[in-house]
Amino acid sequence: MNSTISKHIALISVHGDPAIEIGKEEAGGQNVYVRQVGEALAKQGWKVDMFTRRASSEQATVVEHSENCRTIRLTAGPTEFVPRDNIFGYAPEFVEKLLKFQNQSGIHYSLVHTNYWISSWVGMQLKKIQDTKQVHTYHSLGAVKYKSVSTIPLISKTRLAVEKEVLETAERIVATSPQEKEHMRSLVSSKGNIDIIPCGTDVKRFGSIARQAARQKLGIDPETKVVFYVGRFDQRKGIETLVRAVSQSQLRGKAPLQLIIGGGSRPGQSDGIERDRIESIVNELGMSSFTTFPGNLDHEILPTYYAAADVCVVPSHYEPFGLVAIEAMASGTPVVASDVGGLQFTVVPEKTGLLAPAKDEVAFAQAIDRILCDNAYRNQLGKAARQRVITKFSWDGVAQQLSELYTELLQQPTKVYKQLSAS
């Protein structure tokens, strides 16, 4: 790395706490991304501070992950869980607290990498006040999301405007797949600089245990056909399509079958309500004897579940990237996924898994059965899947690309328009 540039960088993730246990509450891909990117960049010599909103008075304000990587929780709004659609009102206070932290610590962040639209607004405010470069990752695009939901939240107008402004003004946007870049161009703006740098995964952790050992650990018979889902309970994740597809499997009643639906949820909250809805469909379809809900799958046990599965299903209505697909692939497990967004980039049909139209339970059933009924095909897909992740989606490789991008941006002079507008 060039020694003349400042090594202090901030990753900003107002609602996705990188230090939180994944799979709980609204935690998902963004939390994993920020944490992994932060830790990998620190290993490459950056001094990484990850800023998030403090969401409980029991949470520590600073969590040290390694010598050069820590999470800093700022108090902005109530110190309790706030759904992400309601957090934007606290963003000005977040900016204020971040500036205060900078002043008190004497650290100046010459580059901020913001995550999700709320943080992008924070980054844009910082740029108005000080000389800071901004890299932004969307994680989800309002313009895509609102196309597929029936009730559009009040905040949508603000979100769409902020997403357009950051695309046009950030020094660089990181799209995690070519499909996401295409959506930015067609639905948000033709202006702005976009690089494609994918998400990554830990290819040592996923792939560390063999199928038989994994099954033994989980008490699953070697002959049972295992279909696996893991992720947040959210209607847009399409779990209903998976359940209906498995109910139509030609193996039902003919071979031992197990459907595992993993992920945390809180009774009475949106994820708890979705889990109840899914459980009632499972009961209605007479599948409760072979369907299990193990709850949140933590860091330790998750690789075992992926390894034990014959197929991992990602039935999302939309996914800008979709970490679960590459985690399963790294574990040598083929993926059946919706033919949308980043899943079209990570899953290569007939090579590492199969794609089916989103919400199409018949197509999902056929794809799942093709893999369950043919062990040789399953093994062939699984082997190629792991190979694809090793070559394209390891965190170290992803962090290397981000590191090169930050270095390039920090070496560039501050743009003239900013100097003019500041004077």
Binding stretches for ligand UDP (CB under 6 A): 22-23, 28-30, 32, 230-232, 262-264, 296-297, 302, 321-324, 327
Secondary structure letter of residue 10 according to DSSP: E
Task: Report yes or no: 67 and 42 within 8 Å, Cβ to Cβ.
Answer: yes
Mapping DSSP to helix (H, G, I), strand (E, B) and coil, where does residue 47 land? Answer: strand
Nearest position to ligand UDP, beta carbon: 28
Beta carbon nearer to ligand UDP, 73 or 232: 232
User: Checking DSSP bridges between strand 311-314 and strand 291-295, what pairing results, if any?
Assistant: unpaired
Asked if 139 and 33 touch (Cβ cutoff 8 Å), the reply is: yes
Nearest distance from residue 314's CB to ligand UDP, in Å? 7
Minimum CB–partner distance for residue 96 and ligand UDP (Å): 28
Q: How far apart are CA 244 and CA 361, in angstroms?
A: 6
For ligand UDP, give the closer residue by CB, 109 or 206.
206
Q: Which is nearer to ligand UDP, 36 or 71 (CB)?
A: 36
Dist CA 72 CA 354 (whole Å): 41
Nearer to ligand UDP, 95 or 209 (CB): 209
Residue that is written with structure tokens 């703006």 in the block: 189
Nearer to ligand UDP, 327 or 369 (CB): 327
Instruction: For the CB of residue 180, give the shortest distance to ligand UDP in the complex, in Å.
Output: 12
Which CB atom, from 126 or from 324, has the smaller least distance to ligand UDP? Answer: 324
Structure token pair of residue 355: 């794609």
User: What SS3 state is found at 248?
Assistant: coil
Residue spans of alpha helices (H) in 348-411: 361-372, 375-392, 395-411
349 three-class SS = strand
- Least separation in angstroms between residue 184's CB and ligand UDP is 18
Residue 279 to residue 290: CA distance in whole angstroms: 12
* Distance of closest approach, residue 77 Cβ to ligand UDP, in angstroms: 22
Query: How far apart (Å, rounded) are the C-alpha atoms in residues 356 and 138?
Result: 25
Q: In angstroms, what is the minimal distance from the CB of 128 to ligand UDP?
A: 29
d(CA 69, CA 55): 20
User: To 10 degrees, what angle do helices 375-392 and 361-372 make?
Assistant: 100
Asked if residues 402 and 41 have their Cβ atoms less than 8 Å apart, the reply is yes
Shortest separation between residue 75's beta carbon and ligand UDP, angstroms: 25
CB of 252 to ligand UDP, least distance (A): 26
Distance CA 381, CA 18 (A): 32
Query: By C-beta, is 37 or 98 nearer to ligand UDP?
Result: 37
Between 71 and 265, name the residue whose CB sits nearer to ligand UDP: 265
